[in-house]
Structure 1
Amino acid sequence: MTTDIFHYFDYLAGNPLAAVTAVLTLGVILVNGWTDAPNAIATCVSTRSIKPRAAIVMAAVFNFLGVLVMTVINAKVASTIYNMVDFGTNTIDAATALCAALFAIVVWATAAWVFGIPTSESHALIAGLSGAAIAIHGNFSGINGHEWIKVIYGLVLSTGLGFVFGFVTVRIVEKLCAGCDRVKTNRAFRAAQNCGGAFMAFMHGAQDGQKFMGVFLLGSALSAGQGGVNEFEIPIWLMVMCSLIMALGTSMGGYRIIKSVGMDMVKLQTYQGFAADTGAALCLLTASLTGIPVSTTHTKTSSIMGVGFSKRASAVNWKIVKEMVLTWVLTFPGCGILAFFMVKLFIRIF
């Protein structure tokens, strides 16, 4: 893919398949802004450390910085997603299958957003791509097991380690601040929580930004008839565009997810919100540096649960947790099956 944005848009004007693929990828990124990006700022908004509009601007800026900085350090997450599936040698059918998978992801995520449930776009993306690869091959030969196993590692890491990091971080904070003046510490942690929210937004960009740019580049290669490209360069304009589209999605529909994650699941004080953000961000940093694609939704909500559980088990609203877990469990088979049938339909129609 050309690194010049103007040449790229000229290319899209002459290649309808590439244009459709790009629009659908941007649609998935927009829905990610609806359903995933709000997790990064949920706690600092719910504890009133920052107003929603300012939080969205902060999320946009730090999403971009996360994409830029982590891509410079390494692009392992983008590479994992790019090489996770093989759509075959027929690049027209492959690009059509990718479009069908992206359409299925948008449908799945939008349905979850309607009910205010923070579904994992990372897992929807992985499930959709996998379902599409199975559909186009008629078997599992299109799944790259070496890369796909990292998804399983990510599921365990984001859920287990997120909980542990949240639990441990809040306990450390409580020990360090024992006996301190409550008014002064609240003021300090209000500022610290905004930093924690910025850290989370940074790591959201580092993780999810790379995933969707990997898909964007895959779609560009397939629509250009280049099915065997294994190496790529991520242009800065694509990083900027990805961050802006995420921010737009967050501003359009993020409050429902903010309410579910930051307000309904656990009632947090400012120091607890800081601990949840810091614990989740550290978990995401660990995953990003090792190239493991984890769910920012799982990581953040698990960290919040760890913080709430450190106080007492009843501090966690387990009804909300149950709804979230059910959605997570259903995402892999549900979105995968939806993508499978969408591929069959798209190839038959187009």
Structure 2
Amino acid sequence: MDLTLAIVIAVVVVALAFDYTNGFHDAANAIATSVSTRALTPRIALVLAAVMNFIGALLGQKVAKTVAEVITIENEQQQLLVGVNHGLVIVMSGLLGAIAWNLITWYFGLPSSSSHALIGGLVGAALAGGVSVKWDTIVEKVLIPMVASPLVGFVGAFVVMTALMWLLRRGNPHRINRTFRGLQTISAAALALGHGLQDAQKTMGVILLALVIAYPASYSIDTLPLWVVLAAATAISAGTYAGGWRIMRTLGRKIIDLDPPRGFAAESVGASVLYTTAFAFSAPISTTHTITSAVMGAGATKRLSAVRWGMARTIVTAWVLTFPMAGLAAWATYEALHLVLL
């Protein structure tokens, strides 16, 4: 086996490992609210999320192509200068940096963004390896949506929940809660579908990037091989089923104590934002950012003091640190792998 093929196989394995950690790291995003309101039991919620993650991963390719275009070897001269194996080591370093940050935030129960960890890792590794970064893609498809999606999630959930409170103001509280527990099964499934649509595609994009670097005559940035799609869908579903109990507790209880109507409002708005950005803008936004901000927005309709803003500040700090810290981890990983493999 030649070195290039060995590195490609390693990149695919590491990418699927990242996809798996993404699943158990972000499983809580789709189901924490439904579990905390007792709309679903934890095990049923995990099965639902795993199945919908798999289906969502099969529904589109636009986000995958955006991720694959984050770093680029601009021309044949640079390709000769960088070298195929060098490019593959950069991709692997980006993945390992993202995995490292995912595991750190998972250990501390912080719902940080696997999406931005991956993008930050790729950028950090690319800078370390001297490869061009498409900053216009980073700004338009990553940084702007990174800021906009939580704001839309917060405001949207606040507005939807305010409307529900007005419409249901004379209703029987017990009957309302029972009805919305049933509706949360639908909204949780919709959110899990959006998570698969967004997050599994990011892994597909990284694998496609490695294949295009290694075998440009056989693979194109415009076409995702079916085996890549199925492998990524399976990995994220398996990771989701493994569960993310630490983060589930944070989203479900430590931000605010949710009731079923607020859980439904947060999940519905979060799913809507995920679908819109994936299909309309091809933007790899964070499921974590979106649902967490939606939970805060729905919860703020009780009263602003009902949201535990201290925990919210901790979460926002993790958000801000994700991009640079994953990038630094990827940079350090690149330096180590460069000594061993190149």
Paired residue total: 332
Deviation at 1:13, TM superposition (A): 12
Query: What's the secondary structure of 2:71's corresponding residue?
Result: coil
Aligned match of 1:324 = 315
Work out whether residues 54 and 236 of structure 2, in 8 Å CA contact, stay in contact via their aligned partners in 1.
no
Name which of 225, 247, 257 aligns with 1:267.
Answer: 257
1:255 paired to 2:248: no
Q: Please state whether the residue corresponding to 1:36 is helix, strand or coil.
A: helix
Summarize the Cα distance change of 1:156–1:12 in structure 2 as closer, same or farther, 3 Å threshold: farther
TM superposition shift of 1:154:
1.1
**1:234–1:191 CA distance, 2 compared to 1 (3 A):** farther
Over 3 Å counting, the alpha-carbon distance change for 1:20 and 1:238 in structure 2 is same
Q: 1:79-130: per-residue Cα shift (whole Å, max 9, x none)?
A: 1111111255111100011111111111111111111111100110010000
Shift of 1:12: 11
Is 1:80 aligned to 2:66, yes or no? yes
The counterpart of 1:34, out of the listed 16, 20, 24, is 24
Residue deviations 1:244-297 (CA, integer Å, cap 9, x gap): 322332333411111001111110001110000001111112211221221110
Correspondent of 2:192 among 174, 181, 201: 201
Q: Which amino acid aligns with 2:67?
A: I
2:202 maps to a residue whose letter is K
Asked whether the equivalents of residues 28 and 102 of structure 1 are also in contact (C-alpha less than 8 Å), the reply is yes
296, 303, 311: which one aligns with 1:312: 303
Look up the match of 1:4. none
1-structure distance, mates of 2:97, 2:24: 16
> How far, CA to CA, are the matches of 1:257 and 1:12 in structure 2?
41
Distance change in 2, residues 1:13/1:178 (3 Å): farther
The 8 Å contact of residues 125 and 331 in structure 2, kept in 1 or not, is answered as yes
Counterpart residue number, 2:284: 293
**TM-score w.r.t. length of structure 2:** 0.91
- Residues 27 and 20 of structure 1, relative CA distance in 2, 3 Å threshold: same
Query: 1: CA distance between counterparts of 2:3 and 2:57?
Result: 27
Match in the other structure for 1:7? none
Deviates more, 1:149-158 or 1:12-21: 12-21
* Cα distance, 1:226 vs structure 2: 5.8
In the alignment, structure 1 residue 63 sits paired with structure 2 residue 53: yes
Q: Which amino acid aligns with 2:332?
A: F
Native 8 Å contact 2:11 2:91 kept in 1: yes
Quote the Cα distance in structure 2 between the aligned partners of 1:331 and 1:34: 17
Counterpart CA distance in 2 for 1:267 and 1:186 is: 14
1:243–1:52: structure 2 CA closer, same or farther, 3 Å change rule? farther
* Pairing of 1:232-251 with structure 2 (within 5 A): 232-235=223-226, 237-251=227-241
Aligned to 1:51: 41
**Amino acid aligned to 1:199:** A
One-letter code of the match for 2:71?
Answer: V
Aligned: 1:127 with 2:120: yes
Alpha-carbon distance in 2 for matches of 1:12, 1:247: 32
- 1:139-195 CA-to-partner distances (Å, cap 9, x unmatched) read xx6111221112112112221111111111111221222212222222210110111
Structure 1 range deviating more: 247-256 or 105-114: 247-256
Instruction: Work out whether 1:95 is the aligned partner of 2:81.
Output: no
Q: 1:46 to 1:94 in 2, by over 3 A?
A: same
Structure 2 residue 147 is the aligned partner of structure 1 residue 156: yes
Structure 2, unmatched stretches of 5+, are none
Q: Relative to structure 1, is the Cα distance of residues 201 and 284 closer, same or farther in structure 2, using a 3 angstrom cutoff? A: same
**Taking structure 1 as the reference length, what is the TM-score of the superposition?**
0.89
Structure 1, unaligned runs of 5 or more: 1-10
Matched position secondary structure for 2:39: coil
- SS of the residue corresponding to residue 15 of structure 1 reads helix
Q: CA 1:245/1:233 → structure 2, altered by over 3 Å: closer, same or farther?
A: closer
Range with bigger deviation, 47-56 or 219-228: 219-228
2:151 partner amino acid: G
Cα deviation, 1:4-34, whole Å, max 9, x if unaligned, reads xxxxxxx999932121111100111111012
Percent sequence identity over aligned pairs: 36
Q: Is the 8 A contact 2:116 2:323 kept in 1?
A: yes
| Rounded Cα–Cα distance in structure 1 between residues aligned with 2:211 and 2:169 | 55
2:212–2:221 Cα contact (<8 Å) kept: no
Which aligned pairs between 1:143-182 and structure 2 lie closer than 5 A?
143-149=133-139, 150-182=141-173
Q: Aligned partners of 2:194, 2:55: CA distance in 1, in Å?
A: 9
For 1:173 and 1:247, locate their aligned partners in 2 and report how far apart those are by CA, in whole Å: 33
CA-based RMSD of the aligned residues comes to 2.1
